[in-house]
Amino acid sequence: MSLSVDIAHTFGDFSLQVTFQAEGGITALFGRSGAGKTSVINAVAGLLRPDQGRITLSGETLFDGDTQTFLPSAKRRLGYVFQDARLFPHLSVRDNLTFGSRYAPPTAPGPSLEDVLSLLGLRDLLDRAPGRLSGGEKQRVALGRALLSKPRMLLMDEPLASLDAPRKQEILPYLERLRDGPLGLPILYVSHAVDEVARLADTLVLLGNGRVQAQGPLYEVMADPAAVPLLGVREAGAVIEAEVIQHAADGLSRLRISGGDLLLPGVQADPGARVRLRVLAQDVMLSVKRPDGLSAVNILPVKIETVHQGEGPGAAIALRAGQDRLLARVTRRAVAELQLAPGMGCFAIIKATSVAPGSIGR
Amino acid sequence: MSLSVDIAHTFGDFSLQVTFQAEGGITALFGRSGAGKTSVINAVAGLLRPDQGRITLSGETLFDGDTQTFLPSAKRRLGYVFQDARLFPHLSVRDNLTFGSRYAPPTAPGPSLEDVLSLLGLRDLLDRAPGRLSGGEKQRVALGRALLSKPRMLLMDEPLASLDAPRKQEILPYLERLRDGPLGLPILYVSHAVDEVARLADTLVLLGNGRVQAQGPLYEVMADPAAVPLLGVREAGAVIEAEVIQHAADGLSRLRISGGDLLLPGVQADPGARVRLRVLAQDVMLSVKRPDGLSAVNILPVKIETVHQGEGPGAAIALRAGQDRLLARVTRRAVAELQLAPGMGCFAIIKATSVAPGSIGR
Amino acid sequence: MSIDAAAWDALRLSLWVACFATLIAVPLALWIAWLLARRDFPGKATLNALVHLPLVLPPVVTGYLLLVAFGRNAPLGRALDSLGLTLAFHWSGAVLAAIIMSFPLMVRAMRLAIEAVDPKLEEAAATLGAPGWAVFGRVTLPLIQPGILAGAVMGFAKAMGEFGATITFVANIPGQTQTLPSAIWAALQIPGGEGQAIAMVLMACAVAVGAVALSEALARRVARRISGA
Amino acid sequence: MSIDAAAWDALRLSLWVACFATLIAVPLALWIAWLLARRDFPGKATLNALVHLPLVLPPVVTGYLLLVAFGRNAPLGRALDSLGLTLAFHWSGAVLAAIIMSFPLMVRAMRLAIEAVDPKLEEAAATLGAPGWAVFGRVTLPLIQPGILAGAVMGFAKAMGEFGATITFVANIPGQTQTLPSAIWAALQIPGGEGQAIAMVLMACAVAVGAVALSEALARRVARRISGA
Amino acid sequence: ERLVVFAAASLRGALDEIAAGFDGEVALSYGGSGAIARQVAAGAPADAMLLANPKWMDWLEGEGIIAPGTAFVIASNRLVLIGPQDHAPIDPEQLPELLGTGRLAMGQRDAVPAGTYARQWLESAGLWEALRTRLAETDNVRAALALVARGQAPFGIVYATDARAEAGVAILYEVPPESHAPIRYLATALTERGQSFLAHLASPAAKAIFAAHGFAEVSR
Ligand SMILES: Nc1ncnc2c1ncn2[C@@H]1O[C@H](COP(=O)(O)OP(=O)(O)OP(=O)(O)O)[C@@H](O)[C@H]1O
Ligand SMILES: Nc1ncnc2c1ncn2[C@@H]1O[C@H](COP(=O)(O)OP(=O)(O)OP(=O)(O)O)[C@@H](O)[C@H]1O
Ligand SMILES: [Mg+2]
Ligand SMILES: [Mg+2]
């Protein structure tokens, strides 16, 4: 299933001109407040009719400005989780949740009410009116409502912004399962939170000021030192794939990446499975000689590819470990003292605990 | 200015029973979705009349269930930033912003419209109707509106949840200035984001299920290994105060804490100023001997105070560096291999870049 | 037939006519209100003015126009007649007059309610796959219940009180078209008839009080459901 | 006096009376609507029923009651008279009749609008320090403008069309208390008067069309402002 | 200062003409007899009044609003049975059959004077019992006329003055005046200035106008 968006629209002073492709999986729209993320997602949902352009989903034209094609929202079968929850105030939580189920083709696959209730912790709220829910509870109901309409694709506009970290940690794996399960449910996901994006997204579209600033597969965009300022210094970091080798008794697991083995805690996948690791640039230290007596247990030999000096006191360093790319953020002083330069070999020290379970996916 | 809250209230199944004191500065209410944060803040604002209890602000009784005292919202002069923005739909952004200014005593100190416009980036939106704003823009207007009503105290219900990281980095220092400036504006701040809380709060109230789970000065609650599960493993970490000694040409600054000196980037304060540092437990590594050849430039001699083994594969280790307390999170395997135990002396390695500018305050 | 019996008859008939008129007018008014609130079409302004016309014209004129449009010799009247729906001197004619007279009140209240519905909720329903009619039935309609109720109670009250158009169109036939207002009017035309008139006015008041109280009780239930309080 | 001149006089008087009545009734109706929507007090049900009463009673009865209460020989009428406010047989009486008759329509529309206002917005205004009246004036009032407008246009139309109560209370004195509906009715009372009546009915229609068009234009502006679209 | 005269609506056509010939400005306020009587009792600023229903004049006397015996008859009228335009005259005895399922239009039997006279005639003609459930009673005689003119009711009983002027109907039978109480329009002055108008009403010119409108002459 592939979504292709190529639209232009103007609101007063603001002009939106966005072209991107999403080939299944999760596509993240990332950008600052007012960048145009909600507008794009509205156009895909059929709530905004762009001035011109074309939107297609798996070959079906949802909108075409040239031929005046505009498929109404109700026929698009896209589950939209709104930035504001937009629950139906006159319906109970239960009726909100099941609102859309009768319009889906009976054979369409999708989660059951039971699944959604346990995932989102809504069981005790079923008979509650939306006016009596807390902010986060509303958002959860909105998410459940969209899931239960058995959509062909999910559109999520900051669905987790008002949720606490533990709840997010429950929902994120579920979204991954939706993406990876038999449904292969594609998701268009708007978020400000880089860690969510890094964990979930297959494709990353960086929006700024109504324009696409960068787009491409997550691994590429995230490991590109030039994207660091767009993502935020503290949030930049490479995403790499690893194979689970074995679990040890103390909870650490051995994972293999092309450049060597890593010991990480909290890995749920079975041995043999492939998982996604996010390694924050700031969690990677560099050492010119192999250190010992350190609590960090992950030490990889790497080669420096580029040294990208930003405007501040830090530098982003692209590293190659086997076939994988890593990103390290160190001070300029360290660059000078250790004489770090492209082509140089050194050791990357990755704290075992700094790859949190939350950023391990797939 | 001190706020004292001692209330009990019941909504159907949910019962709220909360007692806490906030002695000026910023008090963070932290807790999971549905914990009762909005309910508490509503009671303080006068939008919820608790079944019983007492709320006082600087000696003035806002609510007293025994004497049936209930000061109406309008007389409390508390600036409330709602979880949902609640802008007046019929007023332009400008009129929303200035709505409350005429009710404040003319001599009351407070920011000017100009200040707020630049801080929140609202200058281009002044004549816009709220219906034409993006989610984050709405939230910014709501924040500006509360600030411009010149309140005695700010009540903020997740005001930054829908804002992007760069904007947050602009607003947080401003809130700190409000707190520390001549106004000494106290703030009651609801948040899910530990980093915001750690950066801003003076007092931390951990709410769970309508009850206070832990409360106290931020330094104490944050450095308590027992609070790690409440805050989230990845977010735990001590907060310490440091004095700025000098800024070097490469952007690193030397800061002095009681246990030694640290070199950190992005410190804005002048030499001599005291700043607050948040040192995430997971950013602290332990080494039994002093390491060399490392890109990490901050190495402090520390003494292990307690070793707190959690349920997972990690352990939280409380350290004393001079008078300051630090928290390190290491794997159990490291505890075993390095034979870490209370009373033992070792070296804490703190990556310079891991104390991001965002978590340095005051 | 004693006077009192006639008054009771008139009351019964009035209640019947008013209930019937309200039942028929509510869906019709809802449709027109929806058209006026949500659609653009040629002739919208005309339709809108037409709906208000019975308010502006003296009821006698409305009654006369009804006679012209639905009389036995008028094509429309004849067509209805052949369908077995006789309006002339029949309570159904009184129902028609009551519908027309209460129509502006109903349409206005319902339109106001429809215009107050947040289109974002309707959009949300559409994204969940609900076709247009389902969006209306499951979202718009429940949300405008207070407006429907307000329109219905105003329309009912107006239908109970309608006099001029009714008597002009279907005259004043005891048991058939003599509604309470007609009876009250007749009583007032006779010197010393005030006593009887007062008795019937009190009946009308009782109905008004009852209808209003009922509608308030319903409105409270609806409001509780909608606000979720 | 030529017939046409009398018709123009009646039109002028009706417009004057309807405008005046609307101007007075709007704030009053708004207050009552607010009381009914937002307050609880003893006698609320009674007040509510009372407001609806002019709908339920035949207008003649309302006129008769007005005559009894405000006639020149009635204590109330005499008291007002001595204050220089003559109601009976004066255009100001027609205004009073129009106010009373249009009141239920206005109150209902406004109440519906008030009840639809999200109390959260009013709460937000209160937290910004706005006292009760300011919350009403700066938040509630602007948000209910569509309701006020709807009430006003219905009330105006009703005031233009009011006949039974008016003719009973202030009679039908040309140039003084003869409103357009009274003139139309009088024209219909003589053989061959239909021509005149039709001319005046057309006048009334023109006014209705104009008032409705004006209110729609205003409503569109208001709606645009409120929705911010 | 213009004279204000309250008058029964059915007098309107003639009265407008008569007032035009009066030396002075006259405002004529038309209404139902009951309404006028009540308004006068409530202190209406009328200089004179003309009622179609003697009962209300009696009521005013009884209430002490006007002095007994001051009211006098200024015009009279006749009842006629009307039907469709091209219908042949009929014998009232046939009325019950001719009506078929239709109804006989007339003023309300108690409230409208024309209705009361019609009822008296039907009673004296022995037709009341057969017809009383087959009536279409209206709030004024003009409405009854309209019902017949529009074909809504096949027959009706109205004043001759109304029937004459309506092209859509034919007079099928002239009701004998002695079969019901005399149809009398009563006038009375309420002020000094009203007297002059009443005097004008009694003038030959006025009488001619009444006659031209079909009102019957009355002998005092
Ligand atoms: N109806 C409208 N009229 C005028 N401008 C609009 C309208 N809707 C949106 N905008 C503007 O378009 C821009 C993009 O809005 P959009 O809602 O898509 O932003 P966003 O990326 O979702 O932001 P946020 O993260 O704050 O929700 C904003 O600058 C907004 O002010
Ligand atoms: N009016 C109400 N009636 C019944 N229950 C309510 C009502 N308002 C809130 N609650 C319940 O009270 C609890 C606390 O709600 P509150 O809004 O204070 O939570 P919160 O901590 O602000 O959560 P969130 O982070 O999701 O906004 C929730 O479980 C909620 O469902
Ligand atoms: Mg958005
Ligand atoms: Mg909340």
**In this complex, is the C-beta atom of E42 within 8 Å of any C-beta atom belonging to chain D?**
yes
Q: Kindly determine whether residue B80 and residue D229, on different chains, have CB atoms separated by under 8 Å.
A: no
Tokens 């309707």 belong to C122
Return the H-helix or E-strand segment holding B285.
strand B284-287
B87, B123, B128, B134, best to mutate for ligand 1 pocket (most atoms within 8 Å of CB) = B134
> What SS3 state is found at A239?
strand
Q: Residue E9 and residue E113: Cα distance in Å, rounded?
A: 12
Which has more pLDDT, B169 or B47? B47
Burial class (CB in 10 A: 0-12, 13-18, 19+), E185: buried
Q: Which two tokens stand for residue A92?
A: 């109970």
Residues in chain C: 229
Lookup: tokens for D150:
């709807």
Q: What is the mean pLDDT of chain A?
A: 85
On the question of pLDDT at C139 being above 90, the answer is yes
Atom of ligand 1 lying closest to residue B139 CA: 26
Q: 3-class SS at B257?
A: strand
Assign A250 a pLDDT band (cuts: 50, 70, 90).
Answer: low
Q: Do D228 and B129 touch (CB under 8 A)?
A: yes
A14-32 pLDDT, tens per residue? Answer: 999 999 998 888 899 998 8
Q: Do C225 and A131 touch (CB under 8 A)?
A: no
Q: What is the mean pLDDT of residues C192-200?
A: 87
Which pLDDT band holds residue A257 (cuts at 50, 70, 90)?
A: confident
The CA distance from B76 to B74, in Å, is 6
With beta carbons under 8 A apart, name residues in chain C contacting A89: 121, 143, 226-228
Residue whose C-alpha is closest to residue E187's, from E203, E206, E177, E202: E202
Q: How far apart are alpha carbons C34 and B326 in whole angstroms? A: 66
Minimal CA–CA distance to D35: which of D22, D51, D24? D51
pLDDT value at B265 more than 80: no
Calpha distance B251→C133 (Å, rounded) = 64
- What's residue A167's pLDDT? 78
> What residues does ligand 1 touch, defined as CB less than 6 Å away?
A 11-12, 14, 31, 33-39, 83; B 132-137
CB contact under 8 A, E34 and C191: yes
- Residue B164 backbone phi and psi in degrees, to 5: -75, 160
Average pLDDT rounded to a whole number, residues E50-68: 90
Q: Evaluate if residue A272 carries a pLDDT over 90.
A: no
Q: Residue-wise over C198-226: b if at least 16 C-beta within 10 A, else e? A: eebbebbbebbbebbeebbeebeebeebb
Nearest to A50 by CA among A10, A20, A19: A10
Query: Is beta strand A237-247 parallel, antiparallel or unpaired with respect to B69-70?
Result: unpaired
Block residue for tokens 């209640």: C15
Enumerate residue ranges in chain D where pLDDT < 70: 1-3, 227-229
Contacts of B277 (CB under 8 A, 6+ apart): B239, B240, B241, B242, B255, B257, B262, B264, B355, B359, B360
pLDDT at A311: 66
Confidence band, pLDDT 50/70/90 cuts, at residue A170: confident
Across A211-238, average pLDDT: 79
Question: Within an 8 Å CB–CB cutoff, is residue C189 touching chain A?
Answer: no
Model pLDDT, residue B254? 86
**Residue D31: predicted pLDDT:** 95
Average pLDDT over residues C59-63: 90
ipTM over 0.90: no
Predicted confidence band of residue C229 (pLDDT cuts 50, 70, 90)? very low
The Å distance, Cα A112 to ligand 2 centre, comes to 26
pLDDT for residue C228 is more than 60: no
Structural domains in chain A, CATH included, are 3-222 (3.40.50.300), 237-361 (2.40.50.100)
Chains E and A touch (3+ CB pairs under 8 A): no
CB contact under 8 A, B289 and A288: no
The model's pLDDT over E121-155, given as tens digits with 9 standing for 90+, comes to: 999 999 999 998 899 999 888 889 989 988 889 99
Ligand 2 geometric centre to CA of B41 (Å): 11
- The total of other beta-carbon atoms located within 10 Å of residue D197's CB is 22
Give me the residues of A, 42-81, that contact B with CB < 8 A: none
- Give the domains, in start order, of chain D with CATH numbers: 5-227 (1.10.3720.10)
Nearest atom in ligand 2 to A128's CA = 4
Q: What is the pLDDT of residue C227?
A: 67
- Side chain identity at residue B21, one-letter code: Q
Give yes or no for residue A169 CB within 6 A of ligand 2: no
Q: CA of D166: how far to CAs of C187, D17, D74, E108, E141, in Å? A: 19, 11, 18, 22, 21
Question: Distance (Å) from the C-alpha of residue A79 to the closest C-alpha of chain C?
Answer: 6
CB neighbour list of residue B209: distance below 8 Å, 6 or more residues apart: B35, B36
Q: What is the reported pLDDT for A45?
A: 95
Lowest mean pLDDT of A356-360, B119-123, D78-82, name the range.
Answer: A356-360
Q: What is the mean pLDDT of residues C155-161?
A: 92
Q: How far is the CA of D8 from the centre of ligand 2 (A)?
A: 65
Q: Round to whole Å and give the CA distance between A206 and A30.
A: 5
Q: Where are the beta strands (DSSP E) in chain A?
A: 3-11, 14-22, 26-31, 52-57, 60-64, 69-70, 78-81, 153-157, 187-191, 203-208, 211-217, 237-247, 252-257, 260-265, 274-280, 284-287, 298-309, 314-321, 324-331, 345-350
Q: B309: pLDDT confidence band, cut at 50, 70 and 90?
A: confident
Query: Testing the interface with D: which of E28, E39, E40, E63 to mutate, by most D Cβ within 10 A?
Result: E39
Residue-wise pLDDT tens digits, A175-195: 887 888 777 788 999 988 777
The reported pLDDT for the residue numbered B361 is: 46
Q: Which residues of B58-94 are buried (b: 16+ CB within 10 A; e: fewer)?
A: eeeebbebeeeeebebbebbbbbbbbbbbbbbbbbbb
Q: Where are the alpha helices (DSSP H) in D57-179?
A: 59-70, 75-82, 91-116, 119-127, 132-135, 141-143, 145-161, 164-170
DSSP β-bridge partners for residue A58: none
D2 touches chain E (CB under 8 A): no
pLDDT over 80 at A306, yes or no: yes
Q: Which of A149-158, B59-68, B302-311 has the lowest mean pLDDT?
A: B302-311
Predicted confidence band of residue A66 (pLDDT cuts 50, 70, 90): very high
Nearest ligand 2 atom to the CA of B36 is 18
pLDDT above 90 for B355:
no
| Interface check E31 vs D, CB under 8 A | yes
Nearest-atom index, ligand 1, CA of B125: 31
User: In the predicted model, is pLDDT for residue A208 greater than 90?
Assistant: no
Residue B13 has a pLDDT of: 86
Indicate yes or no: CB of B194 within 8 angstroms of CB of A134: no
**Better-scored residue on pLDDT, C105 or D1:** C105
In this complex, which of C120, C127, C138 lies closest to A73 when CB atoms are compared?
A: C127
Find chain C residues with C-beta within 8 A of E135's C-beta.
Answer: 171, 173
The b-or-e profile of A198-212 (16+ CB within 10 A means b, else e) is bbbbbbbbbbeebeb
> How many whole angstroms from B13 Cα to the centroid of ligand 2?
11
Buried b (16+ CB within 10 A) or exposed e, C104-119: bbbbbbbbbbbbbbee
Per-chain mean pLDDT for chain C? 89
Instruction: Give the model's confidence band at B358: pLDDT under 50 very low, under 70 low, under 90 confident, else very high.
Output: very low
List phi, psi (to 5°) of D59: -55, -35
Distance CA D185, CA D193 (A): 10
With a cut of 70, say whether residue B176 has pLDDT above it: yes
